Each structure stands twice: as C-alpha cells, then as structure tokens.
Chain A
Amino acid sequence: SQKIEQNSEALNIQEGKTATLTCNYTNYSPAYLQWYRQDPGRGPVFLLLIRENEKEKRKERLKVTFDTTLKQSLFHITASQPADSATYLCALARGGNTPLVFGKGTRLSVIA
C-alpha cells in the first residue's frame, strides 16, 4: 500500500540555522507534491507546490526539492526564526482531481 513518511516526528533547531525536513514515499507515483504548515488547532496553510518534472522550487526563505528517482522531497527553511515553529506536512497527489494524501508531519521547534 502507498506510504508517505516524514522521517522526523520532531526537529529542534537553533535560530538562524537552516531546517531541513524530509518526505519519502513508496508505492506511489505523484504528479505533484505540496508542503503545508499547520499550527496547533488550525487548518493547514499552503506553502509550496512542486511538480514531478521540477527539481527545485523556492519562495523567500523556503526551498523544496523533488527527486522522483529517490522518491523523496526535501523542505528547507533558511535563516530559521522562532516564528517558523510549527508542524510541516508533506502531501502528494496523482494529478487530475485526486485528493491530497498527507504524511504525519514534522514538528519543528526553532529555539532562540
């Protein structure tokens, strides 16, 4: 069965450093992959989308890579700030009108 794994349940990092979160998948061929941020008691907020034919996407301090050979996406936050502390969710979809399927998320804590 398809599986989406976000390797770290929790990640602590010092302010100013680059946070790197990992998303691996098996038995799945996504057309695109998305990263979301979720704060406690709130719905997910869309951050970035990367398609299967794209290697890298950037948005301000965020960078996402997508390696369909390794079946892996990396999500980077550079110059991390305490305000970046949240749970980050990786989600995949096959394309068309198929729904997103989510990983369990990584809880990031940026320590001042």
Chain B
Amino acid sequence: GAVVSQHPSRVICKSGTSVKIECRSLDFQATTMFWYRQFPKQSLMLMATSNEGSKATYEQGVEKDKFLINHASLTLSTLTVTSAHPEDSSFYICSARQLLETQYFGPGTRLLVL
C-alpha cells in the first residue's frame, strides 16, 4: 500500500512556542491531504483538508491562525501549531489521498506542551 510518513514522531515543547509537523507521501502524489487529531480513547477528529497549491479548509471550531497548514507540493504538507498551550497536547495524524477514495495515514505525531 501507499506510504505516508510524519516527522517528528513525538515532540515536547514549552508553552508559547510553535511546532511544525511534516507529512509526506513517499511513493505517490497526493492532491489532497488531511489533518486529524486524536485524544486518548477517542476517535480521529478532522481538523482540516489541504489541497496542493490552495488554502486549507478548516473544520468548524478549528482556529486557522493557530493551526497553520501549508501544502506546498504534491508530496508534502505541514501543520504548524502556533503559540502552543498544554491543551494542544494531542496525537496529530496526517492522511493523504491517492485516488478519490482510499486515505492512507501517517504514523502520527505525539505533541506534549509543557
């Protein structure tokens, strides 16, 4: 199956700093990438949909100025958590779509804000 990577796999940062998470589709071109977050024992909650070369579409309740998404190429999308706070601590997972159906997921990034 298609491979999606994420970097870093885990990050610890101080409150008020910004953190960038990279998502790459390694063996296919993804016109669309998605960012999800997941709290313990909860389902994946969609944060935003990102199309290459255009602005991301954010879900209701997700602050676009806090979670900056850049989809610079067909194989790379980045999520920047700006001015992170402890409540932003979560598991962030990206997903890339190869065709108009199957979404392949990255391994996730565990963010801990102190």
Instruction: Select one of B34, B44, B97, B110 contacting A89, CB under 8 A.
Output: B44
Candidate in A32, A41, A93, A99 with the most chain B CB atoms within 10 angstroms: A99
In the assembled complex, how far is the CB of residue A7 from the closest CB belonging to chain B, in whole angstroms?
A: 14
Number of interface residues of B (CB under 8 A): 26
CA distance A105 to B34 in the complex (A): 19
- CB-CB contacts of B2-14 with A at 8 A, as 1s and 0s? 0010100000000
Q: For B103, what are the chain A residues with a Cβ–Cβ distance below 8 Å?
A: 34, 46, 91, 99-100
Chain A residue with minimal CB distance to B4? Answer: A43
Establish whether residues B104 and A46, one from each chain, have CB atoms under 8 Å apart when the complex forms. Answer: yes
Closest to B35 in A: A99
Question: Given B42, B49, B105, which contacts A44 in the complex, CB threshold below 8 Å?
Answer: B105
Tally of A-B Cβ pairs under 8 angstroms: 55
- With a cutoff of 8 Å between Cβ atoms, the chain B residues found around residue A43 in the complex are 4, 6, 93, 105-108
Check A45/B101 contact, CB under 8 A, given A102-B43, A103-B43, A105-B43: no
Is A61 an interface residue, CB under 8 A from the partner? no
Kindly supply a per-residue 1/0 record for chain B positions 63-100, scoring 1 wherever the CB is within 8 Å of any chain A CB and 0 otherwise: 00000000000000000000000000001010101001
Instruction: With CB as the reference atom, state the residue of chain A lying closest to B51.
Output: A97
Tell me if B112 is interfacial: C-beta within 8 Å of chain A. no
Query: Taking each of B31, B97, B103, which has the highest tally of chain A beta carbons within 10 Å of its own beta carbon?
Result: B103
A82 on interface, CB distance cutoff 8 Å: no
Say whether, besides A43-B93, A46-B1, A99 and B46 are in contact (CB < 8 Å): yes
B46 contacts which chain A residues (CB < 8 A)?
99-101
